[in-house]
Amino acid sequence: MRVDIISIFPEYFAPLDVSLMGKARERGILDIHLHQLRDWTHDVHRTVDDTPYGGGPGMVMKPEVWGEAVDAVIDGGRAALGADALPRLIVPTPSGRPFTQEVALEYAGEPWLLFAPARYEGIDSRVVAEYGERLRADEVSIGDYVLAGGEAAVLVMVEAVGRLLPGVLGNARSVADDSFAPGAMANLLEGPVYTKPPVWRGHEVPEVLLSGHHGRIARWRRDEALRRTLDRRPELVARLDRDGLDKHDRRV
Ligand SMILES: Nc1ccc2ncsc2c1
Q: Is 95 in the pocket of ligand 1 (CB under 6 A)?
A: no
CA-based end-to-end distance of the chain? 43
Whose C-alpha lies nearest to ligand 1, atom 5?
94
State the catalytic residues.
Answer: 94, 121, 163, 178
Which residues, including other chains, have CB under 8 Å from residue 160's CB and lie 6 or more apart? 99, 101, 104
Kindly compute the dihedral angle of the four CA atoms of residues 71, 77, 79, 83, in this order, to the nearest 10 degrees: -70
CA distances from 123 to 16, 128, 130, 163 (A): 24, 9, 12, 28
Reading the chain (252 residues) residue by residue, the pLDDT tens digits are 999 999 999 999 999 999 999 999 999 999 999 999 999 999 999 999 999 999 999 999 999 999 999 999 999 999 999 999 999 999 999 999 999 999 999 999 999 999 999 998 999 999 999 999 999 999 999 999 999 999 999 999 999 999 999 999 976 667 766 766 666 677 899 999 999 999 999 999 999 999 999 999 999 999 999 999 999 999 998 777 555 676 677 677
Residues in the chain, total: 252
Q: What is the pLDDT of residue 107?
A: 98
Half-sphere exposure of 234 (CA within 13 A, CB side): 2
Cα angle, residue 35 at apex, residues 169 and 135 outer, rounded to 5°? 75
Q: SS3 of 63, please?
A: helix
Phi-psi region of 215 (alpha: psi -120 to 50; beta: other; left: phi over 0): alpha
Q: Is 121 in the pocket of ligand 1 (CB under 6 A)?
A: no
Q: Is 141 in the pocket of ligand 1 (CB under 6 A)?
A: yes
Q: What is the pLDDT of residue 241?
A: 55
Q: What is the pLDDT of residue 186?
A: 74
Complex-level ipTM:
0.90
CA distances from 74 to 65, 82, 102, 132, 152 (A): 14, 11, 26, 14, 23
Given the CA of residue 147, which atom of ligand 1 is nearest to it? Answer: 1
